[in-house]
C-alpha cells in the first residue's frame, strides 16, 4: 500500500505540501507552555474538495488530523500531535459573497476576521465579533473556538453570528449545516454544536455569517479610578443601565503599568489603580451615552475621565487595551493568558483572590478584560528559560482557574480548551456530561482522528 505521504502527493501539488523540517513551522499556536508534537506533514489545501480528499487519505492510514487557522490561539487547540496531518486552511481566503439584501456573508475559513469585517463595512454592513487577534486570526479559527472580543458585551460572540457552515466530516463527506435565513429549526442545530468544537467534530471550510447594518461611529470614554472597587461599581451601573455599551473593558493597576512601560505613548494614566474603557456606537445616542458613562464614572469616584469623540481618539484608547498581551510577554519573555469567566456578581471576589494568589506565588499577574460580561484575562508573566519560573507560572495559572470555577465560573470564556485546560473540564462538567460529550464526539468521529487530545 502507498504511504500517506504518497497519497498526499497525489492530492496536492508540491507547493501545497510541507514535510520534514518545513512542517515544523506549523507545530503549535501562540500559547506559551502547552505541549505539542511533530507533524508528519502539513497540507495547504485551497478548496473544500481538497480538504475532503485529504481527510479521506488520512482516514485510510489512521493518521490524526489537526486543523489550523492562523495559529493565533492561546490554549494549544491547534498544536500538532506526533505523526499527524496538519490541515492548514490559511490558503482558503476567498470572500465568496457579501449579500446586502439578506445581510449575510459567506467566506472561506482562512479569511482573516478583519478582512471579513472590512468587506462588510465597504457595503454599509457590520460583522461585530472582534477577538483581540482579529487582524491576524481567521474566521475558521474564530468558529473553532467560538471567539469573543471587546464588542461581544453588546453584540454576542461568534456563535451568535454563524448561520451555516460547510464542514468536511471525518468520513470525508462534505455537509452544509444551517441556513441563509434569519430563523430556522429544521433538524438539530449542528451548526451551533460545531462552533466552538475546536476541530474535534469536523473541518470547517466555509462559513456563512449574519451581518448587521453599520452602527454609529463610536464615542469612547476612559475613566481612571484610585480604587478597584470604585471601577467595579461604575461598571455595574453601566451594565444595569438600559443603555448598552458596545465596549466595556477593565484594566487593573498591573495592566496599566505594563502597558505604560511597554509603550510610553499609551494614553493610560500610569498611576491608576483601575481603568475602564467604555464605548457607545448606538445611532443617535453616542454622545449622550458617553456623557452618561462619564457621569457614572465621576459619581463613583473616578480621578480622570476623558471622552474620545473622533476616530483617532477612540482608536488610541482601544490600541492601549489591545497591546496588553505583548506588554506582559515583554516583562519576562513569556506569558500564560488566562480566560476565566465568572457571574458578574463574583467579579470582586475573583479579583481579590487573584491578588492573593499573585502575592502567595510571588508571580506577576496583570488582569484585564471584558468586565461587562464577566470574562477576564489574568496574564501570568514568566521566564521561559527558567524552569522554576515555568513551574510557578503553571501552578499560578491552575490556581486562578480553580478560583474562577469555585466562584461558579468557567476555565474558558472565549479562548477555548485546547490542551491547556482539559484537566479542568473533568471538574467543571462532571462524569455524566463528559460521557455525553464523548458520545457526541464518537457520533461525528468514530475513529477519533480529528484533533485528538483537544477540547474533550
Among positions 373-402, residues that touch its own copies (CB under 8 A) are 373-375
Contact of 86 with 38, CB cutoff 8 Å = no
C-alpha cell of residue 382: 514568566
* CA-wise closest residue to 29 among 87, 73, 65, 86: 73
**Would you call 229 helix, strand, or coil by DSSP?**
helix
295 binds its own copies (CB under 8 A): no
Q: Least distance from C-beta 158 to its own copies, angstroms?
A: 10
* CA-wise closest residue to 241 among 275, 274, 284, 288: 288
User: How far apart, in whole angstroms, are the C-alpha atoms of residue 207 and residue 184?
Assistant: 17
Q: Contacts with its own copies in 329-358 (CB under 8 A)?
A: 341-345
**Would you call 420 helix, strand, or coil by DSSP?**
coil
146 binds its own copies (CB under 8 A): yes
Q: Which stretch binds its own copies (CB under 8 A): 15-23, 88-96, 196-204, 306-314?
A: 196-204
| Pick 154 or 329: Cβ nearer its own copies | 154
232 binds its own copies (CB under 8 A): no
| Pick 49 or 271: Cβ nearer its own copies | 49
**Residue 284 backbone zone (phi > 0: left; psi -120 to 50: alpha; other: beta):** left
Q: Which stretch binds its own copies (CB under 8 A): 44-52, 82-90, 111-119, 431-439?
A: 431-439
122 binds its own copies (CB under 8 A): no
**Would you call 94 helix, strand, or coil by DSSP?**
coil
181 binds its own copies (CB under 8 A): yes
Q: Least distance from C-beta 141 to its own copies, angstroms?
A: 13
Contact pick of 417, 420, 449, 450 for its own copies (by CB under 8 A): 417
Contact pick of 9, 38, 95, 216 for its own copies (by CB under 8 A): 216
Q: Least distance from C-beta 351 to its own copies, angstroms?
A: 15
Contact of 305 with 222, CB cutoff 8 Å = yes
190 binds its own copies (CB under 8 A): yes
Q: Least distance from C-beta 454 to its own copies, angstroms?
A: 12
Q: Which stretch binds its own copies (CB under 8 A): 58-66, 127-135, 235-243, 256-264?
A: 235-243
The number of C-alpha atoms within 13 Å of 385 and in the hemisphere containing its C-beta is 2
DSSP 26: G
* Torsion, Cα of 345, 350, 355, 360 (10° steps): 140
Q: What is the largest CA-CA distance in the chain?
A: 75
1 binds its own copies (CB under 8 A): no
Q: Least distance from C-beta 370 to its own copies, angstroms?
A: 8
Interface size with its own copies, residues (CB under 8 A): 96
User: How far apart, in whole angstroms, are the C-alpha atoms of residue 242 and residue 256?
Assistant: 29
| Pick 21 or 242: Cβ nearer its own copies | 242
Contact pick of 223, 327, 444, 453 for its own copies (by CB under 8 A): 444
C-alpha cell of residue 35: 505541549
Q: Contacts with its own copies in 247-286 (CB under 8 A)?
A: 282-285
User: How far apart, in whole angstroms, are the C-alpha atoms of residue 29 and residue 90?
Assistant: 14
Q: Which stretch binds its own copies (CB under 8 A): 133-141, 143-151, 302-310, 326-334?
A: 143-151
Amino acid at each position: 500500500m502507498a504511504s500517506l505521504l504518497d497519497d498526499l502527493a497525489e492530492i496536492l501539488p508540491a507547493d501545497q505540501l510541507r514535510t520534514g523540517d518545513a512542517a515544523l513551522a506549523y507545530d503549535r499556536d501562540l500559547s506559551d507552555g502547552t505541549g505539542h508534537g511533530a507533524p508528519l506533514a502539513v497540507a495547504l489545501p485551497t478548496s473544500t474538495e481538497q480538504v475532503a480528499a485529504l481527510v479521506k487519505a488520512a482516514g485510510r492510514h489512521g493518521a490524526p488530523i489537526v486543523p489550523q487557522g492562523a495559529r493565533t490561539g492561546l490554549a494549544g487547540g491547534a498544536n500538532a500531535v506526533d505523526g499527524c496531518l496538519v490541515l492548514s486552511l490559511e490558503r482558503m481566503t476567498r470572500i465568496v459573497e457579501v449579500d446586502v439584501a439578506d445581510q449575510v456573508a459567506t467566506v472561506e475559513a482562512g479569511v482573516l476576521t478583519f478582512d471579513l469585517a472590512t468587506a462588510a463595512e465597504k457595503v454599509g454592513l457590520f460583522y461585530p465579533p472582534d477577538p483581540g487577534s482579529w487582524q491576524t486570526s481567521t474566521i475558521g479559527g474564530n468558529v473553532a473556538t467560538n471567539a469573543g472580543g471587546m464588542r461581544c458585551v453588546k453584540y454576542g460572540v461568534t456563535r451568535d453570528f454563524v448561520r451555516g457552515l460547510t464542514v468536511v466530516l471525518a468520513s470525508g463527506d462534505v455537509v452544509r449545516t444551517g441556513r441563509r435565513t434569519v430563523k430556522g429549526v429544521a433538524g438539530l442545530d449542528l451548526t451551533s454544536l460545531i462552533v466552538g468544537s475546536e476541530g474535534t467534530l469536523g473541518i470547517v471550510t466555509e462559513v456563512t455569517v449574519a451581518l448587521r447594518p453599520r452602527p454609529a461611529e463610536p464615542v469612547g470614554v476612559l475613566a481612571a479610578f484610585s480604587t478597584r472597587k470604585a471601577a467595579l461599581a461604575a461598571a455595574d451601573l453601566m451594565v444595569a443601565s438600559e443603555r448598552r455599551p458596545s465596549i466595556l473593558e477593565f484594566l487593573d493597576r498591573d495592566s496599566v503599568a505594563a502597558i505604560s512601560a511597554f509603550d510610553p505613548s499609551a494614553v493610560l494614566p500610569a498611576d491608576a489603580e483601575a481603568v475602564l474603557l467604555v464605548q457607545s456606537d448606538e445611532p443617535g445616542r453616542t454622545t449622550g451615552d458617553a456623557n452618561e458613562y462619564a457621569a457614572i464614572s465621576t459619581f463613583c469616584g473616578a480621578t480622570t475621565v476623558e471622552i474620545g469623540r473622533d476616530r483617532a481618539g477612540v482608536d488610541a484608547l482601544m490600541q492601549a487595551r489591545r497591546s496588553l498581551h505583548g506588554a506582559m510577554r515583554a516583562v519576562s519573555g513569556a506569558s500564560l493568558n488566562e480566560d476565566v469567566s465568572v457571574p458578574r456578581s463574583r467579579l470582586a471576589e475573583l479579583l481579590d483572590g487573584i491578588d492573593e494568589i499573585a502575592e502567595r506565588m510571588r508571580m506577576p499577574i496583570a488582569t484585564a478584560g471584558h468586565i461587562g460580561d464577566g470574562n477576564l484575562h489574568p496574564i501570568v508573566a514568566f521566564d521561559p528559560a527558567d524552569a522554576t519560573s515555568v513551574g510557578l507560572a503553571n501552578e499560578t495559572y491552575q490556581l486562578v482557574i480553580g478560583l474562577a470555577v469555585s466562584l461558579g465560573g468557567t476555565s474558558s470564556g472565549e479562548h477555548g480548551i485546547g490542551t491547556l485546560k482539559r484537566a479542568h473540564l473533568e471538574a467543571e462538567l462532571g462524569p455524566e456530561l463528559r460521557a455525553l460529550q464523548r458520545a457526541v464526539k464518537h457520533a461525528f468521529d468514530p475513529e477519533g482522528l480529528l484533533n485528538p487530545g483537544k477540547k474533550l
